[in-house]
Amino acid sequence: MAALVETIIPPIPTLAIFPTAGFLASQEGFSLFSVIPMIILGALGATIGTTAIYLIALKLGRRILLRYLKFLKISEKKLERVETWFEKYGDKAVFLGRMIPVMREMISVPAGLLKMKFPKFILYTFAGSLVWSTATILAGYYFGESFDLNI
């Protein structure tokens, strides 16, 4: 759920939420195996959230979307840089973009504007989100295991 909200409302960063969830799971004595559903749900939430952004970009188009992006302090120049990066790296841009803070949300915009095929978008988004979710949750989990509250 946090990943879904984070993608639509960027001030809530998964970079803070996911490691915290992993940390708390370790502190509560959850096994590593029991953290797997958290990882999958994190990736699913991010996929659903970014799919909404992709569909908005696909339906609104560049001209209308730019009107709304200016309220988020995203200029046409920034959007052009992301589009150029997207065109250069193609489908890999979505996969890699899901693992880079800030780019996590932005990569859905050029994917929608440039009409990336929906099944490919979902596949690469979920895969990249799964890597991100795994890395951040496990980082918190392993930190929690090494953290001693009796200091």
Q: What is the pLDDT of residues 35-90, one digit of tens each?
A: 999 999 999 988 998 999 899 989 888 777 777 777 767 777 877 887 888 888 88
pTM exceeding 0.75: yes
Distance CA 23, CA 90 (A): 35
Instruction: Report CA torsion sign: 67, 72, 76, 79.
Output: negative
Count helices and strands in the chain by DSSP H and E runs: 9, 0
Distance CA 115, CA 61 (A): 10
Return the pLDDT at 100.
Answer: 84
Q: What is the residue-averaged pLDDT of the chain?
A: 83
How much of the chain, in percent, has pLDDT values that exceed 70? Answer: 87
Contacting residues for 82 by C-beta, under 8 A, at least 6 apart? 103, 106, 107, 109, 110
Residue pair 31/144 in contact by the 8 Å Cβ criterion: no
